[in-house]
Structure 1
Amino acid sequence: MQDFKNKVIVITGAGSGIGQELAMQFAAKGAILALNDLKEETLAETWDIIPEESRGYMEAFDVGDRTAVENFAASARKALGRIDVVVNNAGFTLAINPIIHSEIEDYEKVIRVNLWGVIYGSLAFMPHLREQPESCLVNISSVFGLMGFPGQAPYNVSKFGVRGFTETLRVEMRGTGLQVVCVHPGGIKTNIARNAEGGDDAANARFVKTFDKNAKTTAAEAAAVIINGIERGKNRIPIGADARFIDKITRLMPASYERILSRNLDRVKFLRER
């Protein structure tokens, strides 16, 4: 898919971060956008930023709500006449917490949005994507979908799930006109750590400090990498030097990568002491 002009592109979680940057950059390429975010006010901010000719359809809702996602897919298709690209980007995380202190509810809350939201979005839009001779489905996983990261088990589980779902779908769609892409961002300069739910003030401050220290890639750079990857027909897109390193080391040393990576994780000692 080389030309996005007049193509209809759906982006969830478009109110901030990578989602907002994707909206702006796709709009600059002449795309027509169907946008979602949980928060009406941040979605409206993105809507106001993009040029009028790219404003196709927008709706604020929780992607963890199956009915809402299915209604969004039907409404966007009806309003815009076609769907060419879908980016399931919406997601969030919880504060740092080791598994021994985690609760079942932590997993249910994160998986509902990060994994079920991707599954709902993929299945709801698939029939519309397959109407086109050439289309693309992009699901945002994470480097946390490549490695077990201490203190982030619910998020890890959700992102490993996104990876498994997307890679399976990619194999099944091989030879069709649907390009299926799994994206693995590393440390991206967004507010995901600051918006992490739960945790005490000390733990949250440590999480933000560690995240900011390791987040080297801007949301604008991440969006550009994703779009370039789609244009080049990539089906697996790591974002950032950290993501490329983790991608390589986990594939080369799947049984022992944690010994190497943990040398650079200053939170490990903190987690063991809790």
Structure 2
Amino acid sequence: MSRIALITGATSGIGKATAEVFAKSGIDLILCGRRQEKLDEVSGTVSSQVRVTTLVFDVRDKGAVLAMIGSLPDEWKNIDILINNAGNAHGLGSLDEGDMEDWDAMIDGNVKGLLYVSKAVIPLMLERAKGHIVNISSIAGKQTYANGTVYCASKAAVEAVSEGMRLELTQHGIKVTNVAPGAVETEFSLVRFKGDESRAEKVYQGFDPLQAADIADAILYAVNAPARVTIADLTILASAQSAATVIYKKQV
């Protein structure tokens, strides 16, 4: 029987790329996101390879998370892999000038949303004494940078949650992997800069950034590792990047 993976934030970026690479490997998919039309697009690209079902909810909505995952038919509740990918970055500025609504969005999505989804899925894994949880953190969770304090704090929390999960769940046969990407060319900067395309594009100019598929390939490696192996913590940087805010760009 094929494995089942639940992926949050599956409509774009790393989540979408992970769905595509999992489908090629024969892993059935529960695709989760806020936009049904986008979920349908992703489903359409992979449904010829594996079984697919979709769940529409915002990870920040605790009631919706628990209700939608709880509504899965029994044949979909045997979740082998959970990819906690949904998250966001909003704004770039100092704490004294920061928008508190942006802070709420980041903490609610990156931290509380991850916890809500995990709360819904972990009991299903505990019943079967097996599973693999992959939390998508960030290099920003390891190295704080000015004007990104709250985002960095939210991703540092993901790092702590990953470690805590591993301490609690290893004895039950559940693996936990923390993946911390560096600069990945996705919708990330477009969201951070409130849809300002010119500003977002400048982030990735002058070097070859990571692509979502690069992170998806690493996630696939982690979940396909032998039973005796746990990839506990994985930091992935673009070759031109040496730290959170240190990227060697060519003059353009």
Superposition TM-score, scaled by structure 2 size: 0.87
Secondary structure of 1:130's aligned partner: helix
Could you tell me which residue of structure 1 aligns to residue 82 of structure 2? 86
User: Partners of 1:83 and 1:229 in 2: how far apart?
Assistant: 16
* 1:166 equivalent in alignment to 2:157: no
**Cα 1:182–1:169, aligned 2, differ >3 Å: closer, same or farther?**
same
The Cα shift of 1:55 comes to: 3.1
**Cα 1:16–1:263, aligned 2, differ >3 Å: closer, same or farther?**
closer
Q: Which runs of 5+ in 2 are unaligned?
A: none
User: Partners of 1:92 and 1:102 in 2: how far apart?
Assistant: 16
Could you tell me which residue of structure 1 aligns to residue 212 of structure 2? 219
1:169-184 alignment, distance < 5 Å: 169-184=165-180
Point out the structure with the larger helix share. 1
The answer on whether the counterparts of 2:24 and 2:49 sit within 8 Å (CA) in structure 1 is: no
Deviations 1:58-109 (A, max 9, x none): 0121110011111222123535241111001011111322222113322112
1:30-45 alignment, distance < 5 Å: 30-45=26-41
* 1:238 equivalent in alignment to 2:235: yes
User: Partners of 2:178 and 2:208 in 1: how far apart?
Assistant: 20
Q: Which stretch of the first structure deviates more once superposed, 28-37 or 98-107?
A: 98-107
1:1-274 alignment, distance < 5 Å: 6-52=2-48, 54-76=50-72, 78-196=74-192, 198=194, 205-213=198-206, 216-232=209-225, 233-241=230-238, 245-246=242-243
The answer on whether the counterparts of 2:85 and 2:136 sit within 8 Å (CA) in structure 1 is: yes
Number of aligned pairs? Answer: 245
% identical aligned pairs:
29
**Cα 1:167–1:81, aligned 2, differ >3 Å: closer, same or farther?**
closer
The Cα shift of 1:196 comes to: 2.4
One-letter amino acid of the counterpart of residue 239, structure 1: I
User: Partners of 2:40 and 2:19 in 1: how far apart?
Assistant: 12
Secondary structure of 2:60's aligned partner: coil
The two structures, once aligned, show a CA RMSD in angstroms of 2.5
Deviations 1:124-163 (A, max 9, x none): 1000112234310111110111111222222112111111
One-letter amino acid of the counterpart of residue 76, structure 1: L
User: Partners of 1:124 and 1:245 in 2: how far apart?
Assistant: 37
The answer on whether the counterparts of 2:189 and 2:203 sit within 8 Å (CA) in structure 1 is: no
The Cα shift of 1:218 comes to: 1.0
Superposition TM-score, scaled by structure 1 size: 0.81
Deviations 1:174-229 (A, max 9, x none): 33200011110111121211122549x5xx74454124446621111110011112
User: Partners of 1:126 and 1:214 in 2: how far apart?
Assistant: 39
User: Partners of 1:205 and 1:263 in 2: how far apart?
Assistant: 21
The Cα shift of 1:171 comes to: 1.5
